[in-house]
Structure 1
Amino acid sequence: MTHVTQQETVRGEAPQDKAFAPEYQGALGSLSVNASLTEVRARGIEELRAAEAAGDGPEMARCGLAVAEACRRLGRNEEADRAWKASYRAARSAGDIGAMAWALWSGGTLARQRGALPLAYRLLRLAAELGERGGDIVVRGYSLAGLAETGRIQGDYQAVGELHEKLLAEARRRGEARHTVWALEGIAQMHRNTGSYDKALALFEEAAETAGRADDRRGRAWALRGIADVLSVRDGDTGRALELLSEAEESCREMRLSSALAYNHKMRGNVLYRAARYAEARENYARALEEFRAMDESRGIALSRLGLAKALARLGRAPAATVAELADLRRALGLLGLRHADDMIDRAATELGVGPVPQDGPPLSLGTEAALR
């Protein structure tokens, strides 16, 4: 398997090359990183059928990978699950180690998106091992990046911080703009979450600038979301934050980035909540919750529920109902393997003046759960 060769750049300099999408391979290799995901899915299915008719196993694996990734980003998780597994089987039958690694990377990324973090670790480790064995440095790098992101989401910053920095240096050295943007955003998010807002903002802004030069609209949309978050929490600049989120939302809609769009709406809820615009925050959290539920994205569901619970409490919800919701969320977040779950819940309870929140709360009643849908 061949990949686009990226121009080497001096270590520490932002790459100048355009972003490319190495997960689009074979007959789909000419697709832009900014291609509409509905277009990618349709083209992928068409080319996959042609490969199946021709009995071309390697091409079946490559086209199936594109279908899996398009479906994952569109929130069509069951279809994505079938597609990456079929891609892996075709690659294994053809003895294509690189294609096997790419399929496992897709499966691991889907598992992380759905909140199955142990499965994500297992699949991404296998993908990295196969990538190294097959000499495919790109899929190895993507798989290691996936492991780093999984650890970051879980809150294990000490374990993955060094890996993020290493991957950033490698991406810059090889001139991989898209991966440089990803690494910058990951490091920025860790700084944001630990209160180093100035560092976080600088890194998010560098990511947005790098993505813009590389014509990576997806990466830029995520970076704008990060900038909006920092401007809101550090400066209370609600107006500018909402403007940036609107700009990012436009890209998400044009590219049909369902998961990114849902996280955009959740962040809009966060910004509005910080500005004490609780009714508007409630509407955005509820919209994000509906979107995450449609794609079965467990972490997004839990975080949107937490935001919604806080907004409802500010709007006069009974404290006992808030405590019950927070107790259930403590358990839900803990099941996802988030190390900071208890801190998140305890901070929310303190902020809202309710509690204490039980460590093992009873399940929500059907009436309470229905009210949150």
Structure 2
Amino acid sequence: MDDVHGKAFAPEYQGSLNGLSVNTSYEDVLLAARQREGSALRSGRKLELAQAKLAVAEACRRLGRLDEAESAWRDSYRSAKDCAALAAMSWALWSGGTLARQRGRLDLALRWLGWARELGRRAGEHLPYGYASAGIAETLRIRGDHHEARELHLDLLAEARERGECRHIVWALEGVAQLDRNTGDLSSAWERFAEAAQVASDGGDHRGHAWALRGQADVLSLRGRPEAALELLSEAERTCREMDLASALAYNRKMRGNVLFRAGRYADAAETYQDAREQFDAIGEPRGTALASLGSIKCRNKLQPDRSRTERELRSLLRSLSGYGLRQTERMVEQAIAELAEEPDPTAARTQTPDDTTTGTRETALSGGLCG
């Protein structure tokens, strides 16, 4: 962990908004961006309008106001196109691609992000190019294309280390750590999550730090340390609430459900999964909704075993995922159906996590959950 890196900054806040911090709450970002948007509209300055709309889009996306985010990024793109600002067009498409991924439309996300990367390349701007590339890597990982995702994450990590870009180092480390965790290499996953947490802390990236803590909590839980995991999740949750991170908070709650489930606290886990599901529903994030639903179904089956009911619920959940391209999530539900058919001994020592995707496990004290 001896990389030289600078403080985290937010290049998506541009023009007169570039004084906003990466840790500025999204309600405050939205207020500042709306004010700048009004000024740009009155003056007719297209680039300034594109920059303001980009900030509006990102704030709305993080706050879970997805329809507003959709309208804003498209307005940003049109304004940037009107003044032939390739870099601004790239940023707008990056925002649109990230929003598409959040909404579970992974093929569309890859299309927008691919165009964003190409425009960033043509503009000669490495930041939008890098952000788009990172978005592609994350989308591939979520879709289940692990080999391709790992190669891209590692390439981006090397570039980020060379440039000393704190947020990119953290993102790439967390992406590779998640892939390590999914293949059962918990030692490597822990090292990468821990480094991501340290780099984020040193660089003042509170959001990246919260995601890294979530990853560390997952590994601690897998190693049979639920109380330590819950403490890290509580620390990360405080950051999510302070920064209005709606999606990150919902995933934090979902992970808390995983930890409680692994610890055999099924009633507490069921309540937490339901809370997470309501949060995901509120922000229109189908992948998170599906993962929380999967956890809820497994909790009910533990509390009131009913194989027929559980199978019906799982198959209904699988059908609800059709058309999204969430292949990894579909595989998790299919795995749960297959495990149900095997009718494992309920007194078995190994507790199956609601969203276990680990294969080739090297450390199997407990099973795991996907850190989305």
TM-score, reference length from structure 1: 0.89
Q: Report Cα offsets for 1:130-165 as digits up to 9, x if no partner.
A: 000011110000001101100000110111211110
Q: Report Cα offsets for 1:52-83 as digits up to 9, x if no partner.
A: 10101000000110110010011000000010
Equivalent residue number for residue 106 of structure 1:
95
Equivalent residue number for residue 361 of structure 2:
none
8 Å CA contact retained: 1:38, 1:70: yes
Q: Report Cα offsets for 1:188-237 as digits up to 9, x if no partner.
A: 0000011111100000000000000001000000000000001101x110
Equivalent residue number for residue 201 of structure 1:
190
Matched, 1:77 2:58: no
Change over 3 Å in CA distance of 1:334–1:184 after alignment to 2: farther
Change over 3 Å in CA distance of 1:310–1:30 after alignment to 2: same
Task: Tell me how far 1:342 sits from its aligned partner.
Answer: 5.2
Distance in 2 of aligned mates of 1:241 and 1:352: 28
What letter matches 2:312 in structure 1?
A: A
Q: Secondary structure at 1:207's aligned position in 2?
A: helix
Equivalent residue number for residue 21 of structure 2:
32
Change over 3 Å in CA distance of 1:112–1:60 after alignment to 2: same
| Cα RMSD (Å) | 1.6
Distance in 1 of aligned mates of 2:250 and 2:329: 21
Distance in 2 of aligned mates of 1:206 and 1:173: 16
Q: Report Cα offsets for 1:224-258 as digits up to 9, x if no partner.
A: 0000001101x110000000000000000000000
8 Å CA contact retained: 1:231, 1:237: yes
Equivalent residue number for residue 259 of structure 1:
247
Q: Secondary structure at 2:264's aligned position in 1?
A: coil
What letter matches 1:73 in structure 2?
A: R
Change over 3 Å in CA distance of 1:56–1:167 after alignment to 2: same
Distance in 1 of aligned mates of 2:339 and 2:23: 41
Change over 3 Å in CA distance of 1:342–1:257 after alignment to 2: closer
Equivalent residue number for residue 359 of structure 1:
none
8 Å CA contact retained: 2:104, 2:326: no
Matched, 1:15 2:4: yes
What letter matches 2:114 in structure 1?
A: R
What letter matches 2:219 in structure 1?
A: V
**Uncovered stretches (5+) of structure 1, i.e. residues with no partner:** 1-11, 356-373
8 Å CA contact retained: 1:15, 1:210: no
1:176-215 aligned within 5 A = 176-215=165-204
Distance in 2 of aligned mates of 1:139 and 1:119: 18
Q: Report Cα offsets for 1:235-289 as digits up to 9, x if no partner.
A: 1100000000000000000000000000000000000000010000001100000
Which stretches of structure 1, 4 residues or longer, exceed 4 Å deviation after superposition? 350-355
Q: Secondary structure at 1:335's aligned position in 2?
A: coil
Distance in 1 of aligned mates of 2:323 and 2:4: 39
Matched, 1:308 2:296: yes
8 Å CA contact retained: 1:314, 1:352: no
Change over 3 Å in CA distance of 1:343–1:123 after alignment to 2: closer
Task: Tell me how far 1:332 sits from its aligned partner.
Answer: 3.3
Change over 3 Å in CA distance of 1:346–1:95 after alignment to 2: closer
Aligned residues: 344
What letter matches 1:224 in structure 2?
A: L
Distance in 2 of aligned mates of 1:288 and 1:224: 18
Distance in 2 of aligned mates of 1:333 and 1:212: 36
Distance in 2 of aligned mates of 1:125 and 1:97: 14
Equivalent residue number for residue 280 of structure 1:
268
Matched, 1:134 2:123: yes
8 Å CA contact retained: 1:156, 1:339: no
Task: Tell me how far 1:14 sits from its aligned partner.
Answer: 2.3
Task: Tell me how far 1:328 sits from its aligned partner.
Answer: 1.9
